[in-house]
Amino acid sequence: MNDEWFSKLKEFDSLTNMRSRLLGQINEQNKRLDILNLKRQEKEQGINAAVKDLHEIQQTYHETEKKLNTSEQQANRLKDTGAAEEKIRPYIQEAQRCETQMFELLEKIDHQEKEIEESRTFLKGLEKTSQEIKLEADTEIETHQNEVIQLNKRLDLIKEELPSEFKTALEKTLQKKLAIGPFTRTDQSHCYFCRYKISRTEESEIDIQKLLKHCPQCTRIFLPYGC
Ligand SMILES: [Zn+2]
């Protein structure tokens, strides 16, 4: 006579498992989106840092160019006034040093600009892929969320359909939020989950007479065999 209520508990159990799976899938999709966002942020930060470096190199280039001009002007001025060779030489050497440095800086600027360009192209691709994945993930999340809502309704309904003894037992056990759910079975005179030893009499009360019983140790509700 308790068969019907136990089969409702069994249904409750399988719907709860289904809900856990759906919530897990929602979680997975959210994680997937988080990873993508993080990847994009990192790339953006990398580009910003590279642009900042580029500006610094350009700044150094302009400063070196100024030094070069000053040295050349100074050298020319000294030449015009007929100054001695050894007085002019340091300015010419400084101008040459500046020229070499500017050449190196130009190479650096060129390299940096290419890297930024490549990163920007990569980021554009990443954003396009992200948008596609987000669309797909959002659709899946929404579908699963709706399924969870339907499952919750069905679970509430099952609880309402149960006689008070079963309903109270279920609610009390659910409150404990036990891992892998509120139900267990007998397994060779033991609780399947916590291995608590139960007597032959109790085992028969559970599986043959189909009485509502809890495991004395882990407090899970026994579902009789065949239910
Ligand atoms: Zn147990």
Residues 138 and 103 grouped into a single domain: yes
* 123, 177: one domain: no
Residue 95 resides in a domain: yes
Q: Could you tell me if residue 38 is inside a domain? A: yes
pLDDT tens for 42-82 read 999 999 999 999 999 999 999 999 999 999 999 999 999 99
Give the chain's mean pLDDT: 96
- The answer to the question of residue 195 being in a domain is yes
CA of 163 to the centre of ligand 1 (A): 24
Q: Are residue 156 and residue 169 in the same domain, yes or no? A: no
The model's pTM: 0.76
Domain endpoint, select from 123, 138, 161: 161
194-223: burial string, b at 16+ Cβ within 10 Å, e else? eeeebeeebbebbbeebebbbbeebbbbbb
Are 175 and 206 within one domain? Answer: yes
Distance 224 CA to ligand 1 centre (A): 14
The answer to whether residue 226 scores a pLDDT higher than 90 is: no
Looking at the fold, whether 70 and 137 belong to one and the same domain comes out as yes
Domain that holds residue 88: 18-161
Looking at the fold, whether 129 and 180 belong to one and the same domain comes out as: no
Per-residue model confidence as pLDDT tens digits over 172-198: 999 999 988 999 999 999 999 999 999
Ligand 1 geometric centre to CA of 15 (Å) = 21
| 1: pLDDT strictly greater than 80 | no
Q: How many domains does the chain have?
A: 2
Q: Are residues 40 and 102 in the same domain?
A: yes
Q: What's the CA-to-centroid distance between 191 and ligand 1, angstroms? A: 5
Q: What is the pLDDT of residue 227?
A: 78
Token reading at 94: 């400084």
CA of 169 to the centre of ligand 1 (A): 15
Do 143 and 190 belong together in one domain?
Answer: no
Nearest to 134 by CA among 146, 123, 126: 126
- CA pair distance 16, 11, nearest whole angstrom: 8
**42, 151: one domain:** yes
From 116, 146, 161, the end of a domain falls on 161
Question: 33 and 136, same structural domain?
Answer: yes
User: Would you say residue 224 lies in a domain?
Assistant: yes
77 & 93 share domain: yes
Q: Does any domain span residue 59? A: yes
Residue 119: inside a domain, yes or no? yes
Query: Do 120 and 195 fall within a single domain?
Result: no
Q: Return the amino acid letter for 150.
A: Q
Rounded to the nearest 10°, the torsion over CA 194, 196, 201, 206 is -10
CA of 70 to the centre of ligand 1 (A): 89
For ligand 1, the distance from its centroid to the CA atom of residue 221, given in whole angstroms, is: 8
Cα(192) to centroid(ligand 1), Å? 7
* Residue 28 is assigned to a structural domain of this protein: yes
Predicted confidence at residue 180, as pLDDT, reads 87
Q: Rounded to whole angstroms, how far apart are CA atoms 184 and 213?
A: 10
